[in-house]
Chains A and B, each alone.
Chain A
Amino acid sequence: MLMLSLIQNIALLVALAAVYQVVAARLKKDTLSNQIISGVLFGSVAIIGMMNPLHFSAGIIFDGRSMILNVAGLFGGPIVASIGALLCGSYRVYLGGGGVYVGVATIVESALIGIVFHYLWYVKNEKLTFLRLWLFGLLANLVVVATFLALPGGVAAVKQIGLTYIIFFPLATVLLCQLFIDYEKQISDAEALHESEQLYRGVFENAAAGVLVGDANGRFLKVNNRLCDMLGYTKSELLEKTIYDITHDLDRDITFEKGKRLFAGELDSYDLIKRYLHKDGHVVWVEISVSAIHGPDGDVRATIALVSDITARMQAEQALQDRERMWATMLGNLPGFVYRCANDRNWTMEFISHGCQEVTGYSPEDFTMNKTVAFNDIVDPRHRERLWNKWQEVLERKELFEDEYKIIARDGSQRWVWERGRGIFGEEGELLFLEGFITDVTQRKEMEESLRDGQGRYQELFEKSKLQEELYLSMLNCSADPIIVYGMDGRVRYLNPAHTELFGWKLEEVQGQILNTVPQWDMEKTGSIIAGILETGKTNWSYETQRLTKDGRLVDVSISGARYSDHDGKPAGMVVILQNISARKKAEEVQRRLATVIEQAAEIVIITDLAGKIQYVNPAFERITGYTTKEAIGQSPRFLKSDQHEPGFYRYLWETITRGEVWSGRMVNRKKDGTIFYEDATISPVFDRSGKITNYVGVKRDVTETVELTKQLLHSQKMEAIGTLAGGIAHDFNNLLQVVMGYCEILMSNAYKNSPHYQDLQKIYYAGKKGADLVRKLLTFSRNQQSQMLPTNLNHEIAQIRDLLNRTITKAIEIDLKLSDDLNLINADPAQLAQVIMNLALNARDAMPDGGTLSIETQNLECNEEFCNRVIDLEPGSYVCLKVSDTGSGMDPSIMEHIFEPFYSTKEVGKGTGLGLATVYGIVKNHRGHIACESEPEKGTTFSIYFPAIVNH
């Protein structure tokens, strides 16, 4: 019975402890306040147990408090146990009775034992097994039971309840502890789960790989940012799609199949390299690891996939594969093999390509590390030493190896091979291995040999192979332009004969040398041009400059050229063509000079097109015609026409030059100001190389002055001739008149004055006398008449015949005298001067039958050289000028030409002798003067006479 109520108390305590756990679940053990609360709770539970105890006797109670405090000590530590013990102790003291001391003692003992084991086990995280917990409970309760012995009637009490304590209390302690252990485990499990959930979320969102969770239909349940970035969608866009939407067509089936198997449970996970489609359509290569997510019942609820973007890797792999394939193809197609070997006497092969099988009959495996055969073994023994020595030399100089030698193939046949290789050196210059290429040249060798043998069987083929090389060489050699080839080091590799011819250097003297043909002043520009070409490889350029020859002359050249490359496509140097443009430069110079000549020429130069439109005129044209270039261009030269030529004149000209012939002749043209000018023109067609006429060029000399002077000369010569003629006639005439008149006089002296014969004789005599007058006039014209030259004032002579003029000239004509004061004297025959004035005045009168003005003008005049150059018989100096003008009918030029000739008259027959102006002319000439006439029809005529003045210095 006692035992039963004690067990009842234990059950209560266990139940209360369970309640405690619920309360304490929200508390963390570590903080002090939590430990205090925890202690109070433990104390409270113990007190509640003490309220329902096993009453042994008055004041002596038994309950489960010791067990509670054991647990409080073990799990809560000293603070929790102390507080619990204090509360329990206080309550026991309050209950009082005989057992109070023992009661308090058991409380203290239980708490202490719990604390001791707290440090022994709990703090050290020792595993609290069932056995340990039972031993712990047993020890604690044995101590408590021992303490009971101190109770009044303690032995009896121990006998009664001791066994219960020893048997049940340890078990209850184990049970209680187990509850705490489970609870703590639960707590820590929950915390761990929370942490891992946080972790998982962080990993999911921030993972470097894309992560997705999908359902059985392929719909996305969850996706992370990385996946969105990878595919270009936003999260919400992606969540509306299925895995099949974003999968490449070619990978859709396998994705579907794998998914199906995963959901069917046939697969737990799978890895796959597949293609997704980016939102913009491009392919994203991914590597995905897909796992099934199982529900609690074990069925597959969803899939989770880790997605890595391997596009870059795939592309790199693709490129690598391409390159490998290319290499493989190349190696496979090479008529030979590549190798990498050691620089030893065996030429130990590290690698050798499959081509060796065909050339040598051995497989790569046979050669590799001299497994079956060393490469040196198959080299013809006669060539081995040479091969070794040459390689060593080449390696020493770090140059390319190239040679031909014989090998013995596996089948025993001898073959010629050509090898080209080089040493591969490490960073510190140490030789690592040799690399190169070997090919079978047996056929070519045999061809060459057979050619040497003169068999000629392969001659054609061989020549064909040489043809290209020879073709290039002959192209260079035959080129008329100098060509020079430089290496990258700037040294001469080749130059052609044309170069030698122009610059002087022979190939053999400069090959491999630096050749400086650039003049100092062109160094910088040339340098930058070369650098540009080597860098960019541009070909379409040329540069005009000068280059030095061997003997130091400068030659004008136009340079062009190009970079050339070696077998690896690396720039290897430059081919330079130097076109000699000296001739062109000279031609340009000549052309420039010609242009200058044309520009500065005194002659007019006109260039027209085929249609005769003016394309060019020189400055002389502007100067002479008064038209500007602008006004002339595009016009036909006909715009200068004077209308003084017959229409046929131009037609003939045009026909001549269009036939391709040169026309020369004199043209009369009109200037811009209307004046007429004469030109001696040569108009020639201009031909192009094909002989076609392209232009016409006219070169014209202004000969107006010459024409005028010639006219005057001709006129004066004519007058001279007429004068001579007149003189001759006069002489003979006078003799005849002498006879006529002499006999007439004799007859008259003999006849009677009133005889009718005398009258007739008189008529004869006077006719003779008239004739004699006529002859005298003629002689005056021919300047043969005697004259009395005196210093004479012209004004006085005019004044003297003024009356005579007034009587002779009708009143309808006004006589206007403009006589200069202090007129210079002239050396003249006054009578002849009068004759001149009278003659001119009478002519003027006859030109003005309806009246007008006759003006007579005198003035001093200085004739300068320029003026005199235009007048044939005038010397520079002082003159007295007499001008006699009328306002009458005037003359046209055709009449003016003849007015001074004797017997030329426009008057009616019988009205004039035709000797008036001829006499004037003769008198003026006799006075070493000059007479000029200006006349315009219907406007009048002016005669100007220049007499040399007597000037007193």
Chain B
Amino acid sequence: MARILVVDDEPEVLLLLSDILESGGYEVVKATNGVEGLREYQKGGVDLIVTDIIMPDKEGLESIMDYKQINPEVKIIAISGGARIGPHTYLKMAEKFGARKVFSKPFRNKELLDAIEELLKEQ
């Protein structure tokens, strides 16, 4: 059973995502910020990371760089409710930083599950 790390600062969103993923048959590790997420990832056994970009303490983009440093092959899906500043969304940046898929909130449950399934199929 694949293990997925979900990081989001909004508790309701975190809960929703874990519900969706659990209903899809995955094991979910939850983190409410980038620091916590990194700690969980370092524990090992995480096959895929779903992370919000805009978060307090440690931004999603920074986290992506950290995950990449630990494991360059890490599979990351970045999600965002939108950007507060800047001409380009962070999602585009996240892609450049190494996120394999990006979703703009609100997205459909199935979209996320499909993307995860697709990524996990890769060996």
Contact = CB atoms under 8 A, between A and B. Distances in A.
Contact of A739 (B16, B80, B85, B107): B16
Contacts of B114: none
Where chain A touches its partner, the secondary structure class is: helix
A786 interface: yes
A731 to B, nearest CB: 4
Contact of A738 (B13, B85, B87): B13
Contact of A786 (B23, B92, B106): B92
A663 interface: no
A741 B103 CA distance: 14
Interface stretch (A135-143, A153-161, A254-262, A742-750): A742-750
Nearest to A928: B87
A733 B12 CA distance: 13
Contacts of A769: 106
Contacts of A735: 10, 12-13, 81, 105
A406 interface: no
Interface string B74-97: 000000111111111101100000
Interface stretch (A21-29, A445-453, A632-640, A722-730): A722-730
Contacts of B19: 742-743, 746
A53 interface: no
Contacts of A736: 12
Interface in B1-17: 10, 12-13, 16-17
B17 to A, nearest CB: 8
B54 A739 contact: no
A588 to B, nearest CB: 63
A779 B87 contact: no
A731 B80 CA distance: 8
A731 B81 contact: yes
Contact of B84 (A731, A733, A739, A740): A731
A686 B13 CA distance: 73
B121 interface: no
A730 B81 contact: yes
Contact of A727 (B10, B13, B84): B84
A724 B87 CA distance: 11
A724 B84 contact: yes
Nearest to A736: B12
Contacts of B13: 735, 738-739
A784 interface: yes
B71 interface: no
A768 interface: yes
A742 B109 contact: yes
A414 B86 CA distance: 124
A784 B16 contact: no
Contacts of A775: 82
A731 B54 CA distance: 9
Contacts of A734: 80-82, 104-106
A739 B20 CA distance: 11
Interface size range of chain B in the complex: 20 to 34
Contact of B23 (A738, A740, A746, A768): A746
Contacts of B108: 741, 745
A732 B8 CA distance: 12
A926 B87 contact: yes
Contacts of A926: 87
Given A734-B104, A739-B12, A739-B16, A784 B89 contact: yes
A731 B16 contact: no
A745 B109 contact: yes
A737 B23 contact: no
A728 B10 contact: no
A572 B54 CA distance: 108
A226 interface: no
A741 B106 contact: yes
A783 interface: yes
A58 B19 CA distance: 238
A724 B81 contact: no
A502 interface: no
A724 B86 CA distance: 10
A772 interface: yes
A727 B106 contact: no
Contacts of B87: 783-784, 926
B39 to A, nearest CB: 23
Interface in A196-210: none
A783 B84 CA distance: 10
A159 B82 CA distance: 216
Contacts of A724: 84-85
Given A745-B108, A768-B106, A786-B92, A733 B81 contact: yes
Given A746-B19, A786-B88, A779 B82 contact: yes
A736 B13 CA distance: 8
A727 B82 contact: yes
A728 B16 contact: no
A783 B85 CA distance: 9
B82 A738 contact: no
Interface string A106-134: 00000000000000000000000000000
Q: Which of A737, A741, A742, A775 has the largest count of B CB atoms less than 10 A from its CB?
A: A742
Contacts of B89: 784-786
B83 A784 contact: yes
B106 A772 contact: yes
A226 B20 CA distance: 163
A444 B82 CA distance: 119
Contacts of A772: 106
B83 A743 contact: no
B10 A784 contact: no
A742 B16 contact: yes
Contact of A737 (B20, B85, B106, B109): B106
Interface string A756-798: 0000000000001100100100010001111000000000000
Interface string A408-446: 000000000000000000000000000000000000000
Given A735-B13, A738-B13, A739-B12, A746 B109 contact: yes
Contact of B105 (A728, A737, A746): A737
B42 to A, nearest CB: 27
Nearest to A926: B87
Contact of B86 (A733, A745, A784): A784
Contacts of B105: 734-735, 737-738
Nearest to B23: A746
A737 B16 CA distance: 11
A740 B81 CA distance: 13
B45 to A, nearest CB: 26
A739 B81 CA distance: 11
A730 B82 contact: yes
Q: Which of B80, B92, B108 has the largest count of A CB atoms less than 10 A from its CB?
A: B108
Contact of B82 (A731, A741, A749): A731
A924 to B, nearest CB: 14
A738 B84 contact: no
A746 B80 CA distance: 20
**Nearest 7 Cβ contacts at the A-B interface:** A734-B81, A734-B105, A731-B81, A738-B106, A737-B106, A738-B105, A742-B16
16 contacts: A727-B85, A728-B84, A730-B81, A734-B82, A734-B105, A735-B12, A735-B81, A735-B105, A737-B106, A738-B13, A738-B81, A739-B10, A741-B108, A742-B19, A779-B82, A786-B91
Given A738-B13, A738-B107, 6 more contacts: A730-B82, A734-B105, A736-B12, A737-B106, A742-B106, A926-B87
Interface of A: 724, 727-728, 730-743, 745-746, 749, 768-769, 772, 775, 779, 783-786, 926
